Structure formats: structure tokens, C-alpha cells
Chains A and B, each alone.
Chain A
Amino acid sequence: MPLLEASSLRKLYDGFCALDGVSLAVGSGEFVSIIGPNGAGKTTLINVLTGLLKPNTGRVLFKGQDITGVGPVKLARLGMARSFQLVNIFPELTVLEVVKVAVVSRLGRGGRLFSSLARDREVTEQALAVAELFALADKRNIPAKKLPQGDKKLLDVASAFALRPEVILLDEPTSGVSTREKHTIMEILVSASKEIGIKSIIQVEHDMDIVFGYSDRIIALHQGKVLADGTPAAIKADEAVVNTVVGRKTRMPERGA
């Protein structure tokens, strides 16, 4: 049984069809990239898969359970997490505190009104362990807003990882950072996910170097439909995908970020 399964998702916005019958399945151990030109419906798909948006038709199953539109809080509890295209952190909290929020939530300690967070060894140790995986431990007491852009992205992902989810959806984990940093981020991501025991990663990504470098499988979206779904080798051989999605971007320098 696949971990995450979506069947015939349709999502309409005022007559515009952002998703038009998308079906996909992601199994344990897979690293899946979703690619497609702007407006192909990638972020909508992520939002539907994570239960933020309710599709007009179709449903999403996570570990066989219907999670269509259940909302983020319940999803986090079930074992699915996400990071965001634009940096999404708690700016005034320190790096360690940002990670601690997720640890507190996972351990179900948010209802502890009178116990000291500073003296909660378990929360602190687990948060520190995650911070270390993301090379953020040295910056643990810095307010999150003061981090450089690349670290902010990492922190966003780190707090999602601290939930120890089974599946994680990353919406452009390397957008807005320099080319050099992109690979560092990806290396950290992959090794951290092994360390934490995340079973599947689904990412939306524009950078074809990264897509072809890390994915086990690639799903190409175009105009709200799945254009192709296969291994990197199969995608590279697919004329239609290369023409509409991958294009000559693979050979082109980075878009100025």
C-alpha cells in the first residue's frame, strides 16, 4: 500500500481549473519531485495533498486514511509535514525555540501550563539534535529573523522535520538561495531525513539539476494534468516533457535569484 495516494483530484478556482484529474501514489522510501511550468498547479497540488485546500472532486489517502481537507493540525499529528516556498518561520523566536515548537507539539506537551520549558531536558535535547542535523546548533540562540536566507530555509524545513513525520512535502526547498547553497541544503535534507526516519519526500522544484540529481521518481504537471510520471531516465527520454517542462532550462544558467 502506498503511503500517500491521491485519486482524480480536481480543483477549480472561479472556473480556472488548477488541477484537472491528478492521480498519484508515493510509496515508502521514495524521493519524488513534482515539476512543471509556472501555473501548472504544483503548489495547489501540495496544498490539496496537505489538506489545506479541499479539492472539488477526488480524495487523498494517507496510510489508507482519508485526509482530504482535514487541515494542517490533524495532518501534523498523523505524520505528514510540509515546508513552504516562501520562508515560513517564527521571526522573533530563537532558532532553538522554532524547533522546540514542533517538538513540544509532537510530544503533546503544549497543554503543559506550569512546567518549565527551559528545564524540559527531553524537548531541549530533541530540538538540539534536529538543529545539529541542519547545522543550526551553533546559532541556536539567534532570533530566527536574523539568520541568512539559506539558514532560514533550513530552519523552516528543520522545524517540519522535528515533527518526525513519515512523509514530508517540500515546496521549493531551495528557492531564493544561491546555487552553491542549493546543493548544501539538499545534502543536509537527504541525510537529515535518513537520520530522522522520514519515509518519503515529495518536493516541488524548479531547478532541474536538483530534480534529476536527487529524485527516484519525477511527476511532471502541465495545465493541471499529469503529463508524465516516471524515473529520471524515463523523464529525460520523454519528448513531450522535455519540450514543455524541462526545456532548455537544464542547459541554461540559473534564473537570477
Chain B
Amino acid sequence: MIRRAALVVVLLGIAGVPFMGGDYYTTLMLPFFGYSIALLGLNLLFGYTGLLSFGHALFVALGAYTAAYMTSVFGILHFEAILLVSVAVALVVAVPVGLLCVRYVKIYFGMLTLAFGMLFYSFLYKFYHLTGGDEGIRVLRPMLLGQSFPALGKVEFLTGPYYYYSLALLVAAAVVMWRVVGSPFGLCLRSIRENPEKAEYVGVSARRYRFYAFLISSIFGGVGGTLLAIPTGLADPLLAYWTHSGNLVFMMLLGGFANFFGPILGSFVFIFLQDQVISLTQYWRLVFGAILAVIVIFFPHGLMGVFDPRARAGG
């Protein structure tokens, strides 16, 4: 009950940000929505299935470039269509990549996902005529539910309709993921995380389930990336760079992978902390490195572990 009440309060708080937070902080919330969706996926893979991907930014970048291609190249502005295509593109890439990666576990899985992420980065960077190279491709303002909001300026659009559209999408994504982790499928994933050998002896094929988890997490990555690209207005190769994957892992650890809401909290804290620290010092990476070290050593279950110490990624 307390958790449910807390959730409602938090949601109302987020919905109230455009009224109270001003344009600056409202705009800062937009990447939070995108990252949270991507992290829900990443944590299905890590917190629930036990596979740590260091290349998840690949799918975030795919989502962003899909938005760029759809709007700038094909002139399709319906955001719903863009999101659907993002899902499809993420799947098309995730099938072969996943089939290869889930043959490995632990550090080998991590390294292989890292390799695919960097491969995609190089592709984006070098194939100038297709991807715009280091300049990337512009992402145009989409139409939401068929509306183009011509009367609204860029900031008004982002802090108004787009803000609530993103929030709704995050809520929908969280509900879907909540159902997935609480399903019989979710239990099988957790059994594989705990003990793949035993799981196989009760008939749960580790490789097959890891593959499905990979596909789902990729879809969430793609949708998150699409959502991120609209406020930035640009898809550029750095989205696929390994440091971006590293940031995703950081957010997940910061908030706590052992809790369903941990990664969402992590993305929130990361974004706002980064904003503050960057304005204070150019050595923000140093500060973040120190924070990460403190978390791993003293709070292995992340910030959420501090609030809710008993929780383990469960149903």
C-alpha cells in the first residue's frame, strides 16, 4: 500500500513539473523519460536475467536514427508510426546480434555487446552519405496523435504536449515491463540468472530465454532512443559510443538493479546530478567516477537499496 501511494505521489509530482519547474527543469525531464524506458529494458537483461550489456546504446542510437530517418528523410512525422518502426528496426538488429551474444555469458557477453555497439558507432561515423557522419541527421518535430501543434514554439511543444506524451509512454512501458517480470516468463528469466544449469534441468532453456530477454530489452532501448532524439533534434554517432552505454550501466547501478524502479530513479538522479556538477566543475567525470566507486563499494543495491533494502528484482 505504501509503495502504491508513493508511486502515485511521484507520478503526480512528475506531472506537475511543467507547472512548477520552469522550462529549464521541464526540458531536463525529457531525457529522463527516454533513458528510463531504455533502462527498464537494460535491467530486464541484467537485474532479471543476469546479463550485463555494455553495448545497449546501440539500440538507443538505432531508435534515434530511426526518428531521424523517418522525419528528415522520409518525411513521416506521425510519432506513433515512428515508434512502431523503431520497434521493428530494433528487432531486426537484435535478432542476429542477440543470437550471437547470448551464446556467451558474463564478461564475454559484455565484451561482445560492446563490440557490436562500437561497430555500429563506426558505421554511423564513417558512412557519411547514409548517416551524415559526425554531423548526424536532424530529427524534426513529430506529430503527436495526428496533431502538429503549429501554434506552439519549440520549447512550448516540448514542455507541453511532448512532455505528457513522453510521460504517458514511460508509464505504459513500465506497466508492460512490470507485467513481464511478474509473468511465468519473468520467473524463468530469474531462475536463469540464479542458476542456469539447474534451470536447464527443469526444462528452461537458458539460451532461448536469454535471447527473448535480449529482444525485449532492445525494443525498450529503441523506443527510449526515439524519445530522446526529439528534444535534442539530432541523431549523432556519439549516441552509440561506448561511453553512452557506460552511462546507461551507471544509471542502472546508481538507482539499483535489484529493484524494479531502481534504474528509473537512477536515470533521474544521474541527469539532474550531471546538470548540477557540470555547471560547477569541468571535472564532472571525475566526480561521477568517485560517486560510482562509492556506490559499488558501499551501496551495491544502489539508491533504491537504501530506501527499500529488502527488495530483490522479483515478481
Chain A interface (Cβ < 8 Å from any Cβ of B): 50, 71-73, 75-77, 81-82, 84, 88-93, 97-98, 100-102, 104-106, 109-118, 120, 123, 143, 156, 159-160, 162-163
Bound-state CA distance A129–B40 (Å) is 35
A-B CB contact pairs (8 Å), 5 listed: A76-B203, A88-B201, A102-B202, A115-B179, A117-B315
Q: Are A105 and B183 in contact (CB under 8 A)?
A: no
> Given that A76-B201, A76-B203, A82-B201 are contacting pairs, would A101 and B183 also be in contact in the complex, using a CB cutoff of 8 Å?
no
Task: Answer whether A101 and B200 are a contact pair too, CB < 8 Å, given A114-B180, A115-B184, A116-B182.
Answer: no
When distances are taken between beta carbons in the complex, the residues of chain A under 8 Å from B182 are 116-118
Partner of A101 from the list B176, B180, B188 (CB cut-off 8 Å) is B188
Chain B residue nearest in CB terms to A77: B203
| A-contact 0/1 string along B215-227, CB 8 Å cutoff | 0000000000000
Docked-complex contact B187 and A100, CB < 8 angstroms? yes
B213: shortest Cβ distance to chain A, in Å? 11
Chain B contacts to A: CB under 8 angstroms: 176, 179-180, 182-188, 190-191, 193-195, 197-205, 209, 312, 315
Tell me the smallest distance from the CB of A171 to a CB of chain B, in Å.
Answer: 11
Name A105's contact: one of B179, B186, B204 (CB within 8 Å): B204
Q: A82-B201, A110-B188, A163-B202 are in contact. Are A89 and B183 (CB under 8 A)?
A: no
Shortest Cβ distance from A95 into chain B, in angstroms? 13
Inter-chain contact A88/B183, CB cutoff 8 Å = no
The closest CB in chain A to the CB of B179 belongs to A114
Cross-chain contact A93 with B191 (CB below 8 angstroms): yes
A61 to B200 alpha-carbon distance, docked (Å): 20
> How long is the Cα–Cα vector from A149 to B191 in the complex, in angstroms?
20
A52 to chain B, nearest CB (A): 9
Is A101's CB under 8 angstroms from B204's CB? yes
B184 A90 Cβ-Cβ under 8 A: no
Which residues of A have CB within 8 Å of B197? 72, 88
The answer to whether B203 and A116 touch across the interface, beta carbons within 8 angstroms, is no
Q: Is the CB of B179 within 8 A of A113?
A: yes
**Closest B residue to A81 using CB positions:** B201
A114-B180, A118-B315 are known; give 12 further A-B pairs, CB within 8 A. Answer: A88-B197, A90-B195, A91-B194, A101-B191, A101-B199, A101-B202, A104-B184, A106-B203, A109-B184, A113-B179, A117-B183, A156-B198
Chain A neighbourhood of B205, CB < 8 A: 73
CA distance A117 to B179 in the complex (A): 9
CB distance from A121 to the nearest CB of B (A): 13
Give the distance in Å from the alpha carbon of A5 to the alpha carbon of B206 in the complex. 28
Q: Given A88-B198, A93-B194, A115–B183 Cβ distance below 8 Å?
A: yes
| Contact of A73 with B204 in the complex, beta carbons under 8 Å | yes
Q: Beyond A73-B203, A81-B201, A163-B202, is A93–B184 a contact (Cβ under 8 Å)?
A: no
Residues of B within 8 A of A109 (CB): 184
Q: B201 contacts A110, CB within 8 Å?
A: no
Residues in B neighbouring A98, C-beta threshold 8 A: 191
A50 to B201: give the CA distance in the assembly, Å. 9
B185→A81 contact, CB < 8 A: no
Cα of A143 to Cα of B179 in the assembled complex, Å = 22
* CB neighbours of A114 from chain B (8 A): 176, 179-180, 183
Does B194 lie within 8 Å of A105, measured CB to CB? no
CA distance A109 to B209 in the complex (A): 12
Q: For the complex, what is the distance from the CA of A101 to the CA of B315, rounded to whole Å?
A: 13
> Which of chain A's residues have a CB closer than 8 A to the CB of B199?
90, 101
A114 to B184, CA, bound (A): 8
Asked whether A113 lies within 8 Å of B195 as measured between CB atoms, the reply is no
Residue of A nearest to B191 (CB): A101
Given the known inter-chain contacts A90-B195, A114-B180, please indicate yes or no for A105 contacting B185, CB distance below 8 A.
Answer: no
Residue of A at shortest CB range from B195? A90
A110 in contact with B184 given A89-B195, A90-B190, A92-B312 (CB within 8 Å):
yes
